[in-house]
Amino acid sequence: MSHNKRITENSSIIQYLMKLNFALYFTKPVIRHIVEFIIAATQKGYSGTVTDIVNLSLANCHRTTFGKFLSQGVWNIEYAWRAIRREVICIIFELSQTSNKPIFVIFDDTIAEKTKPSLQAKHTIQATGFHQSHLKGKQVWGHQLLTMMLSCGNVVLPYCIERYEKGGKSKIERICEMVSMLPIPKGPAYGLCDSWYINKKVIEAHFERGYHLIGALKTNRIIYPQGIRIQIKDFAQYIEKNEVHLVTVNGSNYWVYRYEGALNGIDNAVVVLCWPEKAFKNQNALHAFICTDTELDTETILNYYSQRWPIEIFFRQTKNNLGLNTYQVRSTKSIDRLLWLISLTYLYCTTSGDEYCKFGQGIKIVRKEVQKQRVQWLYERANNKVPIDEILEELQLA
């Protein structure tokens, strides 16, 4: 019996997967490989390669076996995502009801950057291409990943990660489809996004499911104060100090001006013009935000928008820890399955304990748990007088 099986058959990882009803959807070999990924991805030194998955999990298989599990394994990715979404919805909606706090649906995209292959390369990563990186301010080679997360209070969980392919459905169309599948909330609920996703289709998709939308606005967007057509950045030049007031958001002070009315393509919404306290009327410091809930006060709008930031933290954590930026599998099927495995691992680290926790804390807890299981296994093998050579072989140290 392999070392990996001995340390996981009664582990909290297996128990967590059973709680998600994985036994109904997946065979034991598939579940074993899922466990191997979670163990490996949460260990220090994991770099996103299939070799790391096998070595760090002490899996009793060759790396090509795990590679075939990703590229050829018989398991349904839609069932897998359905299990995650069901769990995330259950957690977030229950938290909202018990805490009376709003639900936030956060969506954005990021780039998993890759090295552009040479023209002579025979085996390249599928579906890669050039995408505009907002962080680097230039086109980079890789996959663009469209991501949606749900949050309530301090709990922020991944709901969907998928590759965006040029030539297929647009990002706007996919976001509208994702929103259309969300449950109708019983209390306040808001979509949060950057300026790229602010348009009539996205707003209407949220309205149809009972959600308002809060997002950033480009300052060249057209508004109609007193019926006059003007860009936000030009209108800002006419705003005087007696027309703004100071608000505090996350410990920083901002001068704000509130406009309510029409925008191009949007019948009515609140637009908040915002400057840092020491940069009033500085056009380079001007930021604008939109909110379709006209009953929210200005400070609440800005505080709610700040709840979008955790998705940026999610991108950084999954790239630095779970291999979101360093995976090396080639086929789109393998990549899509890895994206699901990364989401599941993040979910496990944040929700599997007695209390929900931040990812940074959760991954440390999982590492200790795995280490304890390995020590316990060694202790049991020693008590059973198993020869040291056999133990070393099972630990892949022979």
Cα–Cα nearest to 359, from 216, 199, 156 = 156
The pLDDT value recorded for residue 219 is 97
Cα–Cα nearest to 347, from 20, 4, 8 = 20
Q: Are residues 192 and 172 in the same domain?
A: yes
Instruction: For residue 103, give its domain range.
Output: 79-313
The verdict on residue 267 lying in a domain is yes
Quick one: what percent of the chain has pLDDT higher than 90? Answer: 83
Q: Are residues 34 and 181 in the same domain?
A: no
Q: How confident is the model at residue 123 (pLDDT cuts 50, 70, 90)?
A: confident
CA–CA gap between residue 47 and residue 328 (Å, rounded):
10
Asked which of 35-49, 126-140, 208-222, 328-342 is least confident by mean pLDDT, the reply is: 126-140
Kindly report, residue by residue over 256-274, the tens digit of the pLDDT: 999 999 999 899 999 999 9
CA–CA gap between residue 182 and residue 172 (Å, rounded):
16
Q: Are residues 302 and 337 in the same domain?
A: no
The pLDDT value recorded for residue 390 is 86
Asked which of 18-32, 35-49, 122-136 is least confident by mean pLDDT, the reply is: 122-136
SS3 letters across the chain: CCHHHHHHCCCHHHHHHHHCCHHHHCCHHHHHHHHHHHHHHCCCCCCCCHHHHHHHHCCCCCHHHHHHHHHCCCCCHHHHHHHHHHHHHHHHHHHHHHHCCCEEEEEEEEEEECCCCCCCCCCCCCCCEEEEECCCCEEEEEEEEEEEEEEECCEEEEEEEEEECCCCCCHHHHHHHHHHCCCCCCCCEEEEECHHHCCHHHHHHHHHCCCEEEEEECCCCEECHHHCCEEHHHHHHHCCHHHCEEEEECCEEEEEEEEEEEECCEEEEEEEEEEECCCCCCHHHCEEEEECCCCCCHHHHHHHHHHHCHHHHHHHHHHHHCCCCCCCCCCHHHHHHHHHHHHHHHHHHHHCCCCCCCHHHHHHHHHHHHHHHHHHHHHHHHHCCCCHHHHHHHCCCC
Kindly report, residue by residue over 283-341, the tens digit of the pLDDT: 999 999 999 999 999 999 999 999 999 999 999 999 999 999 999 999 999 999 999 99
Among 282, 313, 344, the domain-final residue is: 313
Q: Are residues 343 and 364 in the same domain?
A: yes
The verdict on residue 112 lying in a domain is yes
The verdict on residue 386 lying in a domain is yes
The verdict on residue 190 lying in a domain is yes
The H or E element that residue 130 is part of is strand 129-133
Angle (nearest 5°) at CA 54 between 49 and 60:
165
Kindly report, residue by residue over 44-70, the tens digit of the pLDDT: 999 999 999 999 998 888 999 999 999
Q: Are residues 138 and 209 in the same domain?
A: yes
Q: Are residues 353 and 302 in the same domain?
A: no
Q: Are residues 27 and 167 in the same domain?
A: no
Cα dihedral 229, 294, 200, 102 in deg (nearest 10): 150
Q: Are residues 234 and 371 in the same domain?
A: no
The verdict on residue 319 lying in a domain is no
Q: Are residues 102 and 216 in the same domain?
A: yes
The pTM of the full predicted model, rounded to 2 decimals, is 0.94
Q: Are residues 62 and 128 in the same domain?
A: no
Mean pLDDT of 136-153: 95
Mean pLDDT of 343-351: 98
Among 247, 282, 313, the domain-final residue is: 313
Cα–Cα nearest to 322, from 360, 286, 294 = 360
If one counts the domains in the chain, the total is 2
Among 287, 313, 339, the domain-final residue is: 313
The pLDDT value recorded for residue 43 is 97
Q: Are residues 74 and 23 in the same domain?
A: yes
Strand partners, 157: 150
- Average pLDDT over the chain, rounded to an integer: 94
pLDDT at 3 over 70: no
CA–CA gap between residue 205 and residue 183 (Å, rounded):
13
Cα–Cα nearest to 322, from 48, 18, 73 = 48
CATH for 112: 3.90.350.10
Q: How confident is the model at residue 9 (pLDDT cuts 50, 70, 90)?
A: low
The verdict on residue 324 lying in a domain is no
pLDDT at 234 over 90: yes
Give φ, ψ of 148 to 5 degrees: -130, 135
Q: Are residues 102 and 176 in the same domain?
A: yes
More confident residue, 236 or 388: 236
The verdict on residue 321 lying in a domain is no
